[in-house]
Amino acid sequence: MTLFVNLAVVLLGQDPAAIDYRPLVLDISKRRKTVVTGDLKQGAEPPAYQFKAKKGQRLKITLKDVQPDGLVTFYSIQFPSGAEFGGKGYDPYKGRLTETGTYVVRIHVNNMASNGDSGRFRLTLTRP
């Protein structure tokens, strides 16, 4: 079963200081595959998603742009210890997690490769 979450991450007309940028919590423990789609706007705070996982758990994380004429995205993963892994373009993260705790995935804009000021993305977390 796939969980689809459609998020509008850009809140127009609000003071940026008033926007809550805490990561959206995803529960990946009950599903083999979790899919998040969202919108992204140039200059906006990058959307973030957090999930809990255990050391040794296998996980694959992929990111795809679904609006090819818009922003080009990449992602980073923050491990429970604070260490970070930066995705390179569309390269997926695939392997066994090295820590137990809360992970955070952030979606970023690749300014050098983007052709627009907004775009859509699809983030997929799969437990093989």
Residue 128 located in a structural domain: no
Residue 27 located in a structural domain: yes
Q: What is the pLDDT of residue 69?
A: 66
Residue 83 located in a structural domain: yes
pLDDT in tens, 29-85: 888 999 999 888 777 777 899 999 999 999 999 988 776 667 777 888 999 999 988
Percent share of the chain, pLDDT over 90: 32
Residue 16 located in a structural domain: no
pLDDT in tens, 95-110: 999 999 999 999 887 7
State which residues form the domain around 25: 2-10+21-122
Q: Domain total for the chain?
A: 1
Domain CATH number, residue 39: 2.60.120.380
Residue indicated by tokens 């260490």: 83
Distances (CA, A) of 73 to 24, 112, 113: 18, 10, 9
The Cβ of residue 89 has, within 10 Å, a number of other Cβ atoms equal to 11
Residue 91 located in a structural domain: yes
Q: What is the pLDDT of residue 23?
A: 84
- 6 forms bridges with which residues in the sheet? 37
